[in-house]
Amino acid sequence: MSGATVNDPIAELVACRDCGRDCLLQVADLCADCIARIGTAADDADYRAWRTENERRVVTGELTGAI
């Protein structure tokens, strides 16, 4: 079994919106490390803002690709 490559349409590296690192897994534009960072910060304002924005994107269909 071969590994994923940059040219693999199923597994493309995409830059994280926050840190800019290329990653294969993102949740609503952020990599797992950035989600963990904002989710465990003493001030959870960034996490709450990210969640609120994603709720809006789900409701409008933007995040799910329905639009």
Domain range list for the chain: 14-60
Taking the C-alpha atoms of residue 24 and residue 20, their distance in angstroms, rounded to an integer, is 12
Angstrom distances, CA of residue 57 to CA of 15, 26, 38, 53 = 19, 15, 19, 6
Predicted structure pTM score: 0.64
Looking at residue 56, what is its pLDDT?
Answer: 92
Confidence of residue 2 (pLDDT cuts 50, 70, 90): low
Tens of pLDDT, residues 11-57: 788 999 999 999 988 888 899 999 999 888 888 899 899 899 989 98
In whole angstroms, give the CA distance from residue 9 to residue 15.
15
User: What is the rounded CA–CA span in Å between residue 33 and residue 66?
Assistant: 27
- pLDDT of 10 reads 75
